[in-house]
Amino acid sequence: QDKWLADAQNLVKQYAFYMKRALDDNNLREALKQGSLMLGELRTTALSPQKYYELYMQVWSELHHLESFFADPARHGRTNLELYELVQHAGNILPRLYLLVTVGSVYVKSGEGAAKDVLKDLVEMAKGVQHPIHGLFLRAYLGQASKTLLPDAGSPFEGEGGDTRDAVDFVLQNFTEMNKLWVRMQHGGPARDVDRREKERRELRDLVGKNLHVLSSLEGLDLSLYRDVVLPRVLEQVVQCKDDIAQPYLMDAVTQVFPDDFHLKTLETLLGAVPKLKPSVRAGDVLASLMDRLTQAAIDAPELADAFADADALLKFRECVAAVVEAQPQLEARERLLMHASLMSFAVAAHKDRLELVDGILASCASALGAPLPPASPRDGAAGEAGTSASSEPPPPAMIVADPKAVKQLVALLTVPLETYDTDDVLRLSSYPRCMSLLQPADARDMAVAVVKSVLKGSTAVGDPRRVETLFKFVASLMRDAGEEDEEDFEEAQLLMARLVHRLRSDDTTTQLAILTTAKAQFATGGAKRLRHAAPPLAFEALRLGRAVVAETALDESSSTKTHESELLKQVLQFLYQLVSNLEQATCHDLALRLCLESARLADSAGAEHAAGDLLERAMTSYEEEIVDSKKQRTALSLIVGSLRTCENFSEETRVELADRAVGYAARLLKKTDRVAALAACAHLHWRKSPAKTSGEDDEGGVGGSGDAAGVSACLQKALKIVNASLQASATTGAGAGEATGLLVSVLNSYLWFFENGCEGAPASAVAELLERADAELSQLGSQGACPPDVRAHYDATVRHIRHQRGRGGVVGARFRDLPEA
Amino acid sequence: MSFFGLGRAVTVDLTHAAGEAQRVASVKSDRGNLETLPVFTDKETIAGHVHLSPAPGKQIDHLGVKIEVLGQTELYFDRGDAHDFVSLVRELVNPGEFNGPLSVPFEFKNVALPHESYRGINVRVRYVLRVTVSRGYGGTVVSDFPFLTRLVDEPPSINTGIKMEVGIEDCLHIEFEYAKAKYSLKDVVVGKIFFLLVRIKIKHMELEIRRRESAGGGTNTYNESETIAKYEVMDGAPVRGESVPVRLFLAPYDLTPTYKNVANRFSVKYYLNLVLVDEEDRRYFKQQEITVFRETL
């Protein structure tokens, strides 16, 4: 190749030299002869397009000399017409036509020849060159030479030389012929060279595309000319050439080269050509590129929106996409998605306010990929699986999108609405989940996570049960086990889902309840491991709702609403109850227990004693039966006790019963420390600080209270008994003295609290005795140097407190003064 | 012409009455170089002067001077068989003598010149003005002054195009059409070639102009064909449905009109031969007779 090129270039140089010498002598005949010889080198068939191009460029620059010679009649003494004929005497067609074009351009430029006639003649004669590469370059030369000679509007060649119509005809014809030659390069030659040929063709495509560019830059090209002449003929050529490379390239070129408003006004025609492209051509890319172009236009110039609407662009696009899908059953999923993604961008850019259009696109996208219809009809019910029903024709299997590129497309497609619309609107896109069902489980999950995130990010809450249901359809993939899933991802997703619960909120209590019920039902479908995550937020929302209802009840006077509200509350409690059951089934006993207690408090605050009692009882049962770990027991118990204590509306009987049970649990705890602490806490169950009447009095602190002093005393005694036992034990074993003393100090504190609050269950004598014992133990430990510092500190603080209280006035001060000074 | 090394006794020259205005044309001579000759057409008057100049200081005795118009057909393979179809004689000078330059006018009125001058492969038609100075003892001086005859043909009243479909079954079908069947010498062949079916790999296509000269008669017929012009009209392989334009200027080629039958001795015909050459250099062709005529002198 290189050698051939070098040889040819040398020859060209040589002939060019002789030619120029002849030109210097004004010897026309000799110049033409040498020029022909030089041009004859372009007849080679040995060179690749790349090399041929180099040679062509060399010849091209030499032709300039000839052209300027032709342009000067004084030098050759012929008229242009004579020259025009003279060069046609050349025996070989390729040199002849190059010369003819060269003379032709001079002929037109001189004003002697009418542009349209000369150009028409040239473009017609060029048909004689059927060799693809020769022809392409010859016509490229023609295109180049004629560019400034077109009888375009406003050009000096307009008028006698024709009008824009002639210019268009000329360029179109040249374009058509070039395209044919270009396409023909593909054929012939051994099959193994196909790749190389395609590469070569791509290198040459701009030669063809240049014509379109020339067309678009014609001043006189107006819409009607474009619509009636240019576009139909270009498209005809595109469709007819049936070429894999030419079709997308030219469609793309048309899209890029001509102005947007032309496209808008001729959309139908343009789109009409798309389904007619070869099946192997990626019609999707073509369409997508067009849509993207218009999308950009819509974004850049929002005022175009009306124009888009007038043109009904979106509808046309959709029809076209549908037609392509229809026409090409083998179309890849990626293509289908690409088209719809573009469609989506376009819809959003041009018709942001029309949600139904977006939904429609999703629907058609889903259909295009054969996504099963939502289970409206039971037969199609099996989501994501090919219909197996023997009756009627089975629907084509859905294309599950697995190709990473396609996945990206689909995700992009689905993301667009998320980014554009707020949650509420997105949830109105009923076909959204159908599209999502096309994804593989893992991808679907990612997508669902994105949906959830967007909902979380959004400003508006979802406040309609039906919408909630839809939302769950959107994120259905997170509610199902399908395929492999990373544990961590799962957790993360479920946490997001849990957060989502908080976004489901309505100001109307009834609605809110419905929402929660719906949500719970949805979560329940996801099985225990999902419910575990979802239950707390659900519960909290329910509790919040319950409290809101209670607050409303308190405000409301009318009895009718009151009954309604108490009904509502009942339902809330029921809901909570169910939630507890669910949790228990899910073996999340800790959670269930807590929820139970919270619910009990709610019930109590609403004055629903029975419910509260039931709930507490249930909690306790659950404690008994399910909580086995000692640490958990401790925590659970303290929760139970705490809850119980805050409940204010129990009858005395119930209270005692429950308190006793709690005490019973406390006594059965495994560790001494736990037992002591639990018992001390239980003591509080029997004692209730009298509610502070005014803030002033509250300052005094622990003035008094009421309750069952005996109960308090019993609990404290029990605690003290344990302490005693452990002290004795440590005395015999010599170990654990520090711990035992610590217990002693904490029991002392419990006593002190009740004492301070004036409970008879903790008389001054008992406190004084304890103080003494503690002091003794501590000093003994101190002498052994084994006194744990925290115990010591605790004790010291206690003593300080007593001293402080003693210094105060009032009831409390008086009480403290009964104590011996430490 | 010199005899016996004495040199020419008389130099004969001839001038035409029209002088500078005389039509002339350049043709190739026997030796291959161009010579410019006067041109006459049928029924023209050939007139002028014959200039006789004796060698200086010599007296010329002669038996009379005459001038002839001769039109001959010559068959090269049969040199002897020159056939005079025109032979007119004028006595210019009666027998006598002269010793200085002598100019004698001559005139042939409305000479019938039925055939065109022609130089072919086996045959030619030539015209001469022959001046003979007759002398005794072999001293006769004969000088030939060739001239050309050109005949203007009636432009044909009917000149329909040529259209024809040819091909090799399942291999190549083409249809060609030429706008005319009859062309003047300065004409342009305009046509179009349609490719209806192309199964062979065509490399290029050319249009040839062939001249077929048929001389003699009976068993002694000599046919010669020669290609006057080769004109490439297509480069590369077309596909079906393609059409290729043809525009061939006849002017640059050395054509003569078609001669149907010249004095029953020979005929000259022209053909347009469309040749397709495939990649293995096989040639597919179809030739088509055209009539060439002379529109102007």
Is B12:B143 a contact under the CB 8 Å cutoff?
yes
Condensed to tens digits (0 to 9), the pLDDT of residues A364-422 reads 777 776 665 544 333 333 333 333 333 333 444 555 666 677 777 777 777 777 777 76
Q: B5 in helix, strand or coil?
A: coil
Q: A46 in helix, strand or coil?
A: coil
∠ CA B253-B254-B258, rounded to 5°: 110
Question: Which chain A residues are Cβ-neighbours of B204 within 8 angstroms?
Answer: 93
| Edge-to-edge order in the sheet of strand B243-249 | B162-168, B172-178, B188-198, B243-249
- Using the beta-carbon criterion (under 8 Å), do B233 and A93 form an inter-chain contact? yes
- Using the beta-carbon criterion (under 8 Å), do B239 and A184 form an inter-chain contact? yes
Flag whether residue B186 sits within 8 Å of chain A, measured between CB atoms: no
- Using the beta-carbon criterion (under 8 Å), do B244 and A127 form an inter-chain contact? yes
Residue of B nearest to A132 (CA): B236
Q: How far off is chain A from B243, nearest CA to CA, in Å?
A: 7
List of long-range contacts for A782-789, beta carbons under 8 Å, 24+ apart: A786/A737, A786/A738, A787/A738, A787/A741, A788/A738, A788/A739, A788/A741, A788/A742
Condensed to tens digits (0 to 9), the pLDDT of residues A808-820 reads 767 777 777 766 6
- Using the beta-carbon criterion (under 8 Å), do A92 and B233 form an inter-chain contact? no
Taking residues A293-307, what's their average pLDDT? Answer: 72
pLDDT for A702 equals: 42
Find residues 93-122 of chain A whose CB sits inside 8 Å of chain B.
93-94, 96
Flag whether residue A89 sits within 8 Å of chain B, measured between CB atoms: yes
pLDDT for A586 equals: 67
β strands within A285-332, DSSP E: none
Find residues 224-243 of chain B whose CB sits inside 8 Å of chain A.
229-239, 242-243
CA distance A166 to A158: 10
CA distance A274 to B224: 61
CA distance B171 to B175: 14
Residue A29 contacts by C-beta under 8 Å, 6 or more apart in sequence? none
Question: Which chain B residues are Cβ-neighbours of A237 within 8 angstroms?
Answer: none
Taking residues B76-86, what's their average pLDDT? Answer: 78
pLDDT for A194 equals: 80
Name the residue among B235, B237, B239 with its Cβ closest to that of A128. Answer: B235
CA distance A771 to A753: 13
A65 pLDDT above the threshold of 50: yes
Query: For an interface test with A, which of B193, B235, B248 has the most A Cβ atoms less than 10 Å from its Cβ?
Result: B235
Residue of B nearest to A130 (CA): B236
Is A708:A725 a contact under the CB 8 Å cutoff?
no
CA distance B93 to B96: 8
Query: For an interface test with B, which of A29, A99, A120, A127 has the most B Cβ atoms less than 10 Å from its Cβ?
Result: A127
Flag whether residue A29 sits within 8 Å of chain B, measured between CB atoms: no
Percentage of residues in chain B having pLDDT higher than 70: 96
Name the residue among A124, A129, A188 with its Cβ closest to that of B235. Answer: A129
Taking residues B92-105, what's their average pLDDT? Answer: 85
Question: Which chain A residues are Cβ-neighbours of B249 within 8 angstroms?
Answer: 85, 88-89
For A103, A133, A140, A191, A371, the CA distances from A186, given in Å and listed in that order, are: 32, 11, 19, 10, 38
Q: How far off is chain B from A441, nearest CA to CA, in Å?
A: 53
Q: How far off is chain A from B239, nearest CA to CA, in Å?
A: 8
CA distance A652 to A807: 37
What one-character DSSP code corresponds to residue A372? P
pLDDT for B271 equals: 93
Beta carbons within 10 angstroms of residue A668's beta carbon: 12
Tokens standing for A720?
Answer: 């003290």
Q: How far off is chain A from B148, nearest CA to CA, in Å?
A: 27
Quickly state the pLDDT bin for B217 (edges 50, 70, 90): confident
CA distance A500 to A350: 31
Q: Is B6 exposed, middle or buried (0-12, 13-18, 19+ CB in 10 A)?
A: exposed
Residue A49 contacts by C-beta under 8 Å, 6 or more apart in sequence? A133, A200, A203, A204
Quickly state the pLDDT bin for B69 (edges 50, 70, 90): very high
Is A546:A573 a contact under the CB 8 Å cutoff?
yes
Phi and psi angles of residue A54, each rounded to the nearest 5 degrees, phi first: -60, -45
Condensed to tens digits (0 to 9), the pLDDT of residues A79-114 reads 888 888 888 888 888 999 999 999 888 888 888 878
Flag whether residue A188 sits within 8 Å of chain B, measured between CB atoms: yes
Dihedral of CA A30/A33/A35/A38: which sign? negative
- Using the beta-carbon criterion (under 8 Å), do A129 and B234 form an inter-chain contact? yes
Quickly state the pLDDT bin for B268 (edges 50, 70, 90): very high
Query: For an interface test with B, which of A32, A88, A99, A130 has the most B Cβ atoms less than 10 Å from its Cβ?
Result: A130
Residue carrying structure tokens 């605790």: A794
Beta carbons within 10 angstroms of residue A2's beta carbon: 8
Taking residues A144-160, what's their average pLDDT? Answer: 81
- Using the beta-carbon criterion (under 8 Å), do A93 and B230 form an inter-chain contact? no
CA distance A152 to A162: 8
pLDDT for A42 equals: 87
Cα–chain center distance at A758: 63
Condensed to tens digits (0 to 9), the pLDDT of residues A708-738 reads 777 777 777 777 777 777 777 777 776 677 7
Is A136:A96 a contact under the CB 8 Å cutoff?
no
- When the pLDDT of each residue in chain A is averaged and rounded to a whole number, the result is 76
Bridge partners (DSSP) of residue B40 are B149
pLDDT for A395 equals: 44
A518 pLDDT above the threshold of 80: no
CA distance A520 to A541: 11
β strands within A396-499, DSSP E: none
Is A358:A429 a contact under the CB 8 Å cutoff?
yes
Tell which residue, B2, B226, B261, B249, has the closest CA to residue B115.
B261
pLDDT for A481 equals: 65
DSSP H helices in A89-152: 93-109, 115-125, 132-146
Query: For an interface test with A, which of B200, B228, B232, B233 has the most A Cβ atoms less than 10 Å from its Cβ?
Result: B232
Q: B259 in helix, strand or coil?
A: strand
Residue A68 contacts by C-beta under 8 Å, 6 or more apart in sequence? none
A775 pLDDT above the threshold of 70: yes
- Using the beta-carbon criterion (under 8 Å), do B236 and A134 form an inter-chain contact? yes
Residue B101 contacts by C-beta under 8 Å, 6 or more apart in sequence? B51, B52, B53, B54
Q: How far off is chain A from B79, nearest CA to CA, in Å?
A: 37
Q: How far off is chain A from B124, nearest CA to CA, in Å?
A: 28
Find residues 262-291 of chain B whose CB sits inside 8 Å of chain A.
none
Bridge partners (DSSP) of residue B283 are B277
Tell which residue, A62, A54, A51, A48, has the closest CA to residue A17.
A62
- Using the beta-carbon criterion (under 8 Å), do A92 and B232 form an inter-chain contact? yes
Is A56:A43 a contact under the CB 8 Å cutoff?
no
- When the pLDDT of each residue in chain B is averaged and rounded to a whole number, the result is 86
Phi and psi angles of residue A614, each rounded to the nearest 5 degrees, phi first: -55, -45
pLDDT for A393 equals: 39
What one-character DSSP code corresponds to residue A478? G
Residue of B nearest to A40 (CA): B235
Amino acid identity of residue A302, one-letter, is: P
Is B234:A96 a contact under the CB 8 Å cutoff?
no
CA distance A689 to A593: 26
Helix axes of A355-368 and A333-350: crossing angle, nearest 10 degrees: 180
Taking residues A784-810, what's their average pLDDT? Answer: 78
Phi and psi angles of residue A58, each rounded to the nearest 5 degrees, phi first: -65, -50
pLDDT for A399 equals: 59
Question: Which chain A residues are Cβ-neighbours of B230 within 8 angstroms?
Answer: 91
CA distance A713 to A687: 10
Name the residue among A96, A127, A131 with its Cβ closest to that of B243. Answer: A127
Residue, of A184 and A500, whose pLDDT is higher: A184
- Using the beta-carbon criterion (under 8 Å), do B234 and A135 form an inter-chain contact? no
Beta carbons within 10 angstroms of residue A68's beta carbon: 12
pLDDT for B212 equals: 92
B292 pLDDT above the threshold of 70: yes
B172 pLDDT above the threshold of 90: no
Tokens standing for A257?
Answer: 């080269």
What one-character DSSP code corresponds to residue B98? E
β strands within A715-799, DSSP E: none
Residue of B nearest to A124 (CA): B245
∠ CA A439-A445-A450, rounded to 5°: 105
CA distance B135 to B62: 5
Question: Which chain B residues are Cβ-neighbours of A91 within 8 angstroms?
Answer: 229-232
Question: Which chain B residues are Cβ-neighbours of A118 within 8 angstroms?
Answer: none
B23 pLDDT above the threshold of 70: yes
- Using the beta-carbon criterion (under 8 Å), do A91 and B230 form an inter-chain contact? yes
Phi and psi angles of residue A260, each rounded to the nearest 5 degrees, phi first: -60, -45
A565 pLDDT above the threshold of 60: yes
Q: How far off is chain A from B153, nearest CA to CA, in Å?
A: 25
pLDDT for A44 equals: 85
Residue A770 contacts by C-beta under 8 Å, 6 or more apart in sequence? A720, A744, A747, A748, A751
Residue carrying structure tokens 């799962």: A490
Residue of A nearest to B253 (CA): A89
Q: Return the biggest CA–CA distance within chain A.
A: 143
Q: How far off is chain A from B278, nearest CA to CA, in Å?
A: 13
B92 pLDDT above the threshold of 90: no
First to last CA, chain A: 113
Lowest mean pLDDT among A307-316, A341-350, A689-698, B285-294: A689-698
Flag whether residue A130 sits within 8 Å of chain B, measured between CB atoms: yes
B72 pLDDT above the threshold of 80: yes
- Using the beta-carbon criterion (under 8 Å), do B232 and A93 form an inter-chain contact? yes
Taking residues B11-21, what's their average pLDDT? Answer: 85
Lowest mean pLDDT among A195-199, A227-231, A538-542, B263-267: A538-542
Residue of B nearest to A185 (CA): B237
A224 pLDDT above the threshold of 80: yes
pLDDT for A309 equals: 67
Condensed to tens digits (0 to 9), the pLDDT of residues A451-478 reads 777 777 766 666 677 777 777 777 777 7
Percentage of residues in chain A having pLDDT higher than 70: 83
CA distance A520 to A523: 5
pLDDT for B269 equals: 93
pLDDT for A383 equals: 35
First to last CA, chain B: 33
Question: Which chain A residues are Cβ-neighbours of B232 within 8 angstroms?
Answer: 91-94, 96
A336 pLDDT above the threshold of 80: no
